[in-house]
Amino acid sequence: MPRRTVHVDADFARKLKELREQQGLSLRRLGRMVHCSHGYLWDLETGTKRPSEAIAVLLDSALKADGQLSAMVREVSADNNVRPVAIETTTPTGLEFAPNWRHGLNAVVDLWRGDMQRRDLLRGAGFSATAFLPPAMRWLMSSFDEHPTGDGDRLVGMPDVETVRRMTSTYRALDNQFGGGHIRDSLMRFLDGDVTELVNGRYDAATGRALLSAVAETTQLAGWASYDAGMHGLAQRYLVQALRLAAAAGDQALGAEILAAMSHQAAYLRASSEAVDLARAAGRAASTAGIAAIQAESAVLEAQGYAVGGDEAACATALNRAEAIFDTADRSSEPQWIGYFDESYLAAKFGHCFTALGRGDIARRFAARSLDMDGRQYARGRQFNLVLLAVAQVQAGEPEEAARVGVEALDAYEGLYSSRSRDYLADLADRLSKHVGLPAVRDFSAKARPLLQTV
């Protein structure tokens, strides 16, 4: 493939310094705003390093520059080929929010193919919560006026789009029952095979938008399954590319849901500030789309971000907002893929917030309520919630009861292929290890040990 390089106007460094000084910001303060080191910004201002387009967009936003800086940064092909290709910058492949839908489509097809053909390389891809922020900013700045059309040999129609949606729904149900590790490989074969053939087909703009919306949902699920299987860097790349496809489709509701998933992953990996920022972006997108359920989900994810960072007051404010939105939401016209977000799911998120804050005395009530759910359809979620209840009980000074519930969680783990499920159990086992003298805890530990030692 031909290479792409970054061209930066000679005046970029001078303009960046000028804009920063106009705003009265130090390098350190600006660095915190755009999630870069002040040393890196110093290198940009002295011209010793070149920014990526994504960093330029963040700087424009922080400095209220109306696109002046990003207009001075262009990613161009080394051989003047106009087709989208891999970008040789400091941004890892798959993390870029492409400048147009054709580039985005090529990027995601390359990612699917790379996952199938270079799995070991991609599985080792690193995760950085800050890498979510430039795509999120690009989403918020999108005009949603693209018109994706295809000129391939195969004619693509709405029955093909419906097939993608139904297949995604089937894979999603299996993911909820058995875990992301169970569906991931099969889902990737579907994307790399059938779906690639469709996006390379012939379709008009109306069909193209519907197709890319459906494919964005499938790609989001690939990200979610990879996240659940513990492949965090790869999951991040799928979520970024799913967001780009949703923008091409003009599907603002799905974009909000993808931003919420980004926040979810960031909070799980304890990136508090990024989780909050992404949840806020999701809330803005959900408000624009008019989907109250995603607004409520975004608020509770914002609360979880605060909880991970130890900010109890901000967490409580966000939880109150989530509950108020949820209680008044009209759910009759929301997308079917948000159906999981119900009273039990909301209670579980409340419970996770309070356990993150060390308030097991409060979390117990919500964790118990979260178990009022369809444990067969959402078997993994039930296992999560059993562990949540046990962790809350340990924090509340009830280790023996926690161990008994923990045994239920171990039973529920059997048949799941989920790294998150195992990690939650390992955390519970670690918390209970301080009480190993109690008979119930010894029983739990004896049953947990062989499961947790299995890789």
Higher pLDDT residue, 36 or 223? 223
Q: Mean pLDDT across the stretch 396-423? A: 96
* Helices 419-432, 379-395: inter-axial angle, 10-degree rounding: 20
The model's confidence at residue 86, banded by pLDDT at 50, 70 and 90, is very low
Higher pLDDT residue, 57 or 419? 419
pLDDT at 3: 39
Retrieve residue 333's tokens.
């016209």
Rounded Cα distance, 370 and 231, in Å = 27
**In this structure, are residues 238 and 204 in contact, taking their beta carbons and an 8 Å threshold?**
no
**In this structure, are residues 131 and 93 in contact, taking their beta carbons and an 8 Å threshold?**
no
pLDDT tens readout for residues 313-346: 999 999 999 999 999 888 877 888 888 899 999 9
pLDDT at 54: 61
The model's confidence at residue 216, banded by pLDDT at 50, 70 and 90, is very high
Pairing assessment for the beta strands 150-151 and 4-8 based on DSSP bridges: unpaired
pLDDT at 37: 65
pLDDT at 6: 56
Residues making up the chain, counted from first to last: 455
CA angle 161, 163, 167 (to 5 degrees): 120
Total Cβ atoms within 10 A of residue 29: 13
Q: Mean pLDDT across the stretch 19-43? A: 78
End-to-end CA separation in angstroms for the chain: 37
Name the 3-class secondary structure at 440: helix
Using only C-alpha atoms, the chain has a radius of gyration, in whole angstroms, of: 23
pLDDT at 89: 35
Rounded Cα distance, 229 and 225, in Å = 6
In 3D, which of 250, 256, 244 has the Cα closest to residue 105? 244
- CATH 1.10.260.40 residue window(s) in the chain: 4-77
pLDDT at 47: 83
Q: In the predicted model, is pLDDT for residue 271 greater than 80?
A: yes
pLDDT at 331: 80
pLDDT at 87: 30
pLDDT at 48: 79
Name residue 171's amino acid: Y
Instruction: Give the chain's count of helices (H) and strands (E).
Output: 22, 4
Q: What is the CATH number of domain 4-77?
A: 1.10.260.40
- Of 113-117, 135-139, 208-212, the least confident: 113-117
Q: How far is CA 353 from CA 150, 300, 319, in A?
A: 45, 9, 9
Phi, psi for residue 73 in degrees, rounded to 5: -125, 125
- Of 116-125, 133-142, 261-270, the least confident: 116-125
Contacts of 41 (CB under 8 A, 6+ apart): 16, 27, 30, 31, 34
pLDDT tens readout for residues 425-448: 999 999 999 999 999 999 999 999
pLDDT tens readout for residues 150-205: 999 999 999 999 999 999 999 999 999 999 999 999 999 999 999 999 999 999 99
Q: Mean pLDDT across the stretch 111-119? A: 83
Helix extents (H) in 152-291: 158-178, 180-190, 196-199, 205-228, 232-249, 252-268, 272-289
Phi, psi for residue 5 in degrees, rounded to 5: -125, 165
pLDDT tens readout for residues 93-113: 689 999 999 999 999 999 999
In the predicted model, what is the mean pLDDT of the chain?
89
CA angle 149, 152, 156 (to 5 degrees): 65
The model's confidence at residue 122, banded by pLDDT at 50, 70 and 90, is low
